[in-house]
Structure 1
């Protein structure tokens, strides 16, 4: 399954053309960041702080609260690549973004 062009944003992850979207559900305490490459999809649960703001970690123990921006999507995607996600591969991954880094949900 791939993300449609409408309602998603393009992003380049280490030379791989991807699309991303932030999917929110008010009944959940987190939003899902979905990044789709040619192969497998990346889904990252991101803890919601207040409307439009999320807990974001760029390294274990170093957090901030802010909006989801393309630079954060790239940062999170690069962390996922270090944990085995390949945007060109066929396998999909699901992670939770926490203060310890990306924690596998699958």
Structure 2
């Protein structure tokens, strides 16, 4: 008898492209296995998904190899930020202060 399957999703958003892959995996599949089964690495060959932070519905996982998936879960693969948000805010505030001085 075949193992029962559960429905899950794998999501990744690049700067100019995004993917939401729905698939069925056997009960007992861990996050790392599901990422491999999704084929996302073939769609984004420039990304090393083994180094990306991974979460389930925005909750970061410490160990994707240990989290066993439940039906309906969405695996999210996070890309690194291009700029530090704190630094961007600091630069914007400095620019606004400079603009006030010029007036």
Shorter chain as denominator, the TM-score bin is under 0.3
State the TM-score, normalized to the length of structure 1: 0.25
Structure of greater relative contact order (alpha carbons < 8 Å, 6+ residues apart): 2
Max radius of gyration: which structure? Answer: 2
Structure that is richer in strand per residue: 1
